[in-house]
Structure 1
């Protein structure tokens, strides 16, 4: 991690803090699992989850979009943790019922019924990755994130998402997944987009291009009912309401800190909605996107 340096400023002096990575994988795994939601936006489900083919997943979780997440920790530079994680990801897709039973046991039936299989993700955590890891991930059409970590003393932890890849179309699932009636009565975002007229498609593509252009670390995921944009965590979730001619963006901003404008922005912290974020921004015209940019940038910076 030679490209990142951390300095302590005190008494008109500058001191570089020396970062370290733990050589014992388990200590890193325990640290992440203990604070998984705060660090990665993932709810913890299981550690050392044993598969029916004799494999053992390091950490299993559910991200803030309700998608399955496998986290693997790289012990050595020559360990092929990416291929191992992809092997587990394929197993998980073939054993969805096992995962949903686990979610039901840990988080309840309502959460299990709403598991979104359209964008399962593999997160690989390591003290460092090599150029071959980065190249390999970019060739694979799966949702994969490579995250470096470094510790500075006892109280500082640095995370750096060095590579992230995403599949913009939902993963095609073999067979069917039983969903609760409250979930199945709504059209998926993919179906909604297919029915959009040319004007709405242009507006939606402008929104997607604007959000993706905020930084090289932006990852787009087409989920069941919305499109999520994230860095390490979500910073924007996009829904489309074609009958009303509106595009909704949910941002991770405290609505109390914003001068709300009727018809453009509102507090949805106590209103149920898909995706994450307590501030809803409504784009009714093409011009509204430019108006929303400061809020979008603020949510991105906070992610």
Structure 2
């Protein structure tokens, strides 16, 4: 069980009252709450609820969605602690990989043909949301070659929901590393381009080192760094700079021309409203507080 404690301040009496955590009355309450606010809570666009896998397979997927990078997402729920949520989710994940056209048809109906054509099948995700998980659950997901997030929930009072990532495993890191080596080799003839590739490698190490459970997702236009949601998107190196987009509110940042820029409302690859321009290792050091703030918000 999480050790998090939440207290409500009483300014009138200068006291504090603990808000005691609780589980939902029934599993459907958790599912309904998450589905109604899935993009805000998980960074996943909602597609379908209780989706039937047909008479042969004989099951129902709790929730289907599409994340910020275009990866298919299955969300399974349990009211309390139940190892079956992981096995059930993996069962449905196998079904999903065998029924890609059916999923893309759902996406096309909901979000259009362009979005359906860009579904990222290299990294389908399973998100398990439950009252708690055991250490055996955490060990089990780390043994699978799938992208799996274990998320613990708690309700506080009548209007607060807490989500805590217990474990997060990515299924596609090895391919990402090979791609990075090929990129570096391809830029070896250009000294300036090579220095930008090296700078991208330094940024990669910093972002992956921010904490446990950071996953990388490769898209043609950017590389996303993700906890439950994206917190950074790094674009391919340019000749003289790197562009990285962070989930930080630009209004809370002292913007510096040539270093940080508000791109809310402007089209760009990846997600995030704060653009950071990196040209030297010193810029990476300057940006570390922004990296940490974006990581904490994800």
Q: 1:258 to 1:49 in 2, by over 3 A?
A: same
> In the comparison of the two structures, how many residue pairs are matched?
287
**2:227 equivalent to 1:231:** yes
Q: Output the CA distance in 1 between the equivalents of 2:95 and 2:164.
A: 28
Alpha-carbon distance, 1:226 to partner:
2.0
Task: Determine the structure 1 residue equivalent to 2:153.
Answer: 149
Task: Determine the structure 2 residue equivalent to 1:265.
Answer: 260
Task: Determine the structure 1 residue equivalent to 2:142.
Answer: 138
**2:127 equivalent to 1:118:** no
**What SS does structure 2 have at the residue aligned with 1:141?**
coil
Q: Output the CA distance in 1 between the equivalents of 2:124 and 2:174.
A: 9
Task: Determine the structure 2 residue equivalent to 1:195.
Answer: 186
Task: Determine the structure 1 residue equivalent to 2:236.
Answer: 240
Q: 1:117 to 1:14 in 2, by over 3 A?
A: same
Task: Determine the structure 2 residue equivalent to 1:280.
Answer: 275
Alpha-carbon distance, 1:160 to partner:
0.7
Q: Output the CA distance in 2 between the equivalents of 1:293 and 1:4.
A: 27
Task: Determine the structure 2 residue equivalent to 1:48.
Answer: 50
Task: Determine the structure 1 residue equivalent to 2:73.
Answer: 69
For 1:92-139, what per-residue CA distance to the aligned partner results, in whole angstroms no more than 9, with x for missing partners? 122211111101111122222222223211000000111110110111
Task: Determine the structure 2 residue equivalent to 1:219.
Answer: 215
**2:203 equivalent to 1:207:** yes
Contact 1:118 1:223 in 2 (8 A): no
Q: Output the CA distance in 1 between the equivalents of 2:99 and 2:216.
A: 25
Contact 1:118 1:171 in 2 (8 A): no
For 1:60-89, what per-residue CA distance to the aligned partner results, in whole angstroms no more than 9, with x for missing partners? 001122211100012553442112211211
Match of 1:99 among 79, 100, 103: 103
Match of 2:132 among 128, 132, 135: 128
Q: Output the CA distance in 1 between the equivalents of 2:294 and 2:83.
A: 36
Give the alignment's TM-score, normalised by structure 1: 0.86
Q: Output the CA distance in 2 between the equivalents of 1:284 and 1:28.
A: 45
Alpha-carbon distance, 1:171 to partner:
7.5
Higher mean C-alpha deviation, range 151-160 or range 262-271: 262-271
Q: Output the CA distance in 1 between the equivalents of 2:175 and 2:63.
A: 22
Higher mean C-alpha deviation, range 11-20 or range 147-156: 11-20
RMSD of the TM alignment (CA)?
A: 2.4
Alpha-carbon distance, 1:247 to partner:
2.2
For 1:14-44, what per-residue CA distance to the aligned partner results, in whole angstroms no more than 9, with x for missing partners? 3222211124111111111111111111111
**What SS does structure 1 have at the residue aligned with 2:277?**
strand
Alpha-carbon distance, 1:294 to partner:
2.3
**What SS does structure 2 have at the residue aligned with 1:119?**
coil
